[in-house]
Structure 1
Protein backbone atom coordinates (compact mmCIF):
# COMPACT_ATOMS: atom_id res chain seq x y z
CA UNK A 1 0.00 0.00 0.00
CA UNK A 2 1.21 3.50 -0.85
CA UNK A 3 2.24 5.72 2.06
CA UNK A 4 0.49 9.08 2.28
CA UNK A 5 2.67 12.07 1.44
CA UNK A 6 2.26 15.46 3.09
CA UNK A 7 3.66 18.73 1.82
CA UNK A 8 5.13 20.88 4.57
CA UNK A 9 5.19 24.41 3.16
CA UNK A 10 7.16 27.07 5.02
CA UNK A 11 6.70 30.73 4.26
CA UNK A 12 8.92 33.80 4.26
CA UNK A 13 11.39 34.44 7.06
CA UNK A 14 11.04 31.02 8.69
CA UNK A 15 14.67 30.45 7.73
CA UNK A 16 15.39 33.00 10.49
CA UNK A 17 13.95 30.77 13.24
CA UNK A 18 16.41 30.34 16.07
CA UNK A 19 18.47 33.38 15.09
CA UNK A 20 16.04 36.28 14.86
CA UNK A 21 14.65 37.36 18.23
CA UNK A 22 15.23 33.97 19.90
CA UNK A 23 13.92 35.39 23.19
CA UNK A 24 10.55 35.77 21.45
CA UNK A 25 10.47 32.96 18.86
CA UNK A 26 12.73 30.44 20.61
CA UNK A 27 16.04 28.84 19.73
CA UNK A 28 14.80 26.04 17.46
CA UNK A 29 15.72 26.40 13.80
CA UNK A 30 13.70 25.47 10.74
CA UNK A 31 15.98 22.43 10.37
CA UNK A 32 15.06 21.40 13.95
CA UNK A 33 11.39 21.60 12.99
CA UNK A 34 12.03 19.49 9.86
CA UNK A 35 13.83 16.82 11.91
CA UNK A 36 11.00 16.71 14.45
CA UNK A 37 8.46 16.32 11.64
CA UNK A 38 10.48 13.50 10.07
CA UNK A 39 10.86 11.67 13.40
CA UNK A 40 7.13 11.98 14.02
CA UNK A 41 6.15 10.86 10.51
CA UNK A 42 8.45 7.83 10.30
CA UNK A 43 6.62 5.49 12.73
CA UNK A 44 3.33 6.54 11.12
CA UNK A 45 4.63 5.46 7.70
CA UNK A 46 4.00 8.95 6.32
CA UNK A 47 6.24 10.58 3.74
CA UNK A 48 6.99 14.29 3.94
CA UNK A 49 8.00 16.73 1.25
CA UNK A 50 9.36 20.07 2.45
CA UNK A 51 9.10 23.33 0.56
CA UNK A 52 10.42 26.68 1.75
CA UNK A 53 9.88 30.02 0.11
CA UNK A 54 12.27 32.57 1.57
CA UNK A 55 10.86 35.62 -0.22
CA UNK A 56 7.31 36.90 -0.33
CA UNK A 57 5.34 36.12 -3.47
CA UNK A 58 4.87 39.06 -5.85
Structure 2
Protein backbone atom coordinates (compact mmCIF):
# COMPACT_ATOMS: atom_id res chain seq x y z
CA UNK A 1 0.00 0.00 0.00
CA UNK A 2 1.15 3.51 -0.72
CA UNK A 3 1.35 6.24 1.92
CA UNK A 4 -1.72 7.91 0.40
CA UNK A 5 -3.82 4.77 0.84
CA UNK A 6 -2.68 4.42 4.47
CA UNK A 7 -3.57 8.07 5.18
CA UNK A 8 -7.00 7.64 3.58
CA UNK A 9 -7.65 4.48 5.59
CA UNK A 10 -6.68 6.28 8.80
CA UNK A 11 -8.97 9.25 8.07
CA UNK A 12 -11.87 6.93 7.29
CA UNK A 13 -11.45 4.99 10.53
CA UNK A 14 -11.33 8.20 12.60
CA UNK A 15 -14.47 9.43 10.84
CA UNK A 16 -16.23 6.11 11.46
CA UNK A 17 -15.27 6.28 15.13
CA UNK A 18 -16.72 9.79 15.41
CA UNK A 19 -19.97 8.73 13.74
CA UNK A 20 -20.58 5.79 16.09
CA UNK A 21 -22.74 6.41 19.15
CA UNK A 22 -19.96 5.39 21.54
CA UNK A 23 -17.38 7.66 19.91
CA UNK A 24 -17.42 10.21 22.72
CA UNK A 25 -17.18 7.66 25.55
CA UNK A 26 -13.38 7.07 25.41
CA UNK A 27 -12.81 10.83 25.29
CA UNK A 28 -15.10 11.36 28.29
CA UNK A 29 -13.28 8.64 30.25
CA UNK A 30 -9.87 10.04 29.30
CA UNK A 31 -10.97 13.57 30.21
CA UNK A 32 -12.32 12.39 33.56
CA UNK A 33 -9.11 10.54 34.36
CA UNK A 34 -7.06 13.59 33.36
CA UNK A 35 -9.08 15.86 35.66
CA UNK A 36 -8.94 13.36 38.54
CA UNK A 37 -5.19 12.99 38.04
CA UNK A 38 -4.76 16.76 38.06
CA UNK A 39 -6.74 17.14 41.28
CA UNK A 40 -4.88 14.26 42.93
CA UNK A 41 -1.53 15.76 41.90
CA UNK A 42 -2.57 19.16 43.24
CA UNK A 43 -3.68 17.69 46.58
CA UNK A 44 -0.48 15.66 46.84
CA UNK A 45 1.60 18.77 46.16
CA UNK A 46 -0.34 20.66 48.86
CA UNK A 47 0.44 17.88 51.35
CA UNK A 48 4.13 18.01 50.40
CA UNK A 49 4.18 21.78 50.93
CA UNK A 50 2.60 21.37 54.39
CA UNK A 51 5.21 18.76 55.35
CA UNK A 52 8.02 21.04 54.18
CA UNK A 53 6.69 24.03 56.15
CA UNK A 54 6.22 21.98 59.33
CA UNK A 55 9.64 20.39 59.01
CA UNK A 56 11.51 23.70 58.95
More strand by share: 1
TM-score range, shorter-chain basis? 0.3 to 0.5
TM-score normalised according to structure 1 size: 0.31
TM-score normalised according to structure 2 size: 0.32
More helix by share: 2
Q: Which of the two has higher C-alpha Rg?
A: 2
